[in-house]
Amino acid sequence: MSTSVSSFKRHAHDHFEPQHSDDPNAQRRLRGQLEQIDYTAYASNKEVVGAMLGHADLAKFQKLAVAAAQARAQWVKEALAMTETMRPDPKGIARLGELRMQYQELIEAYEAMRRMVERGYLSYRSPTAG
């Protein structure tokens, strides 16, 4: 069995955490306020992402996946080529770092678009839909 681990690092949110209140009305009011805040963030994301990206579909995911696969293959290909001489030079190592960064950025973009669909910020059109 293999396990896939994402390189995406979730940042801890720096939300204010109020002191516990025994007042049920205050707790309900606070939950309501926080729901309004969360909905505002959701609606803002949906509006901005939708306006900028339109919708997601299989073709868009495939383009990102192919680009990431090509970037990964190029990165490893150049690393293997370096091992033929057994003397990687600083410029070659720097180039490998750039290639790795390209690959990682493409993977992050793919994961970000997937999360946008998952969270409802970006609509997804299946291949069977018109």
**Highest mean pLDDT: which of 8-12, 13-17, 116-120?**
116-120
pLDDT at residue 88 above 70?
yes
Region 32-47: mean pLDDT is: 96
Contact 21, 100 (CB under 8 A): no
Mean pLDDT of 114-119: 97
pLDDT bracket for residue 23 (50, 70, 90): confident
Q: Report d(CA 49, CA 118) in Å as an integer.
A: 13
**DSSP-derived secondary structure for the chain:** ---------PPPP----PPP---HHHHHHHHHHHHHHHHHHHHHHHHHHHHHH-EEEHHHHHHHHHHHHHHHHHHHHHHHHHHHHT---HHHHHHHHHHHHHHHHHHHHHHHHHHHHHHTSSEEE-TT--
Contact status, residue 59 vs residue 127, Cβ threshold 8 Å:
no
List pLDDT tens digits, range 48-81: 999 999 999 999 999 999 999 999 999 999 999 9
| Confidence at residue 12, expressed as pLDDT on a 0 to 100 scale | 59
Share of the chain above pLDDT 90, in %: 69
Q: How far apart are CA 38 and CA 19, in angstroms?
A: 20
